[in-house]
Structure 1
């Protein structure tokens, strides 16, 4: 009976040593070190938020520009094609206004976004 108790204690002691080693290894992990320091955690969260915001803005910009380009290419569907062309003209007018270029000619968008009348000027 005493021999079983000694072997149980030895096994328990080995388990505790193993657990201590594992806890030490986990505490030395970078994630835990960041979480233990308020300054490090705030810095990490700030950088994470900046990256998320920048990625969202860039992704949305690319998506909208690709969508506008694709819609501007659709000329065979009358309503969507006209709407897409008007949308593209407005974007081009805004870009021209930002660059300080003269206003568009007849039939193109004005810098304020309105469409200049088409026709013979009557």
Structure 2
């Protein structure tokens, strides 16, 4: 802690401090021009951006679940030799075939 009779250093006392402050100001002005800062300065833009992110996440979840379930069902339909799982997977495959053929 400085002594009471000492004064804090000023920008003119340290030549490097002025350059550092100038560089800091330039960085801050660069950050203010960054795309995310420009987007977040408008409420409608924020709402649209968040809506688009939510739609993309929802679509990705639906597509991922569809692919995962189809792979699981296909794998289960291939193992008909197991007593319980084989019968169950055969019933699922028959129901899917009936639904697909009935929809045509």
User: Structure 1-normalised TM-score?
Assistant: 0.71
Runs of at least 5 residues in structure 1 that lack an aligned partner in the other structure: 100-122
What pairs with 1:1-122 in structure 2 (closer than 5 Å)? 6-8=12-14, 10-99=15-104
Structure 1 residue 12, shift from structure 2 partner: 2.7
Helix, strand or coil: the match of 1:76?
coil
CA distance in 2 between counterparts of 1:45 and 1:75 reads 46
Q: How many residues align?
A: 95
Runs of at least 5 residues in structure 2 that lack an aligned partner in the other structure: 1-8
Structure 1 residue 32, shift from structure 2 partner: 1.2
Structure 1 residue 42, shift from structure 2 partner: 1.1
Helix, strand or coil: the match of 2:44?
helix
CA distance in 2 between counterparts of 1:33 and 1:88 reads 53
Larger deviation, residues 36-45 vs 21-30: 36-45
CA RMSD of the aligned region, Å? 1.6
CA distance in 1 between counterparts of 2:76 and 2:20 reads 66
Structure 1 residue 26, shift from structure 2 partner: 0.7
Q: Deviations over 1:10-52 (max 9, x none)?
A: 3332222111101011111111111112111111111111110
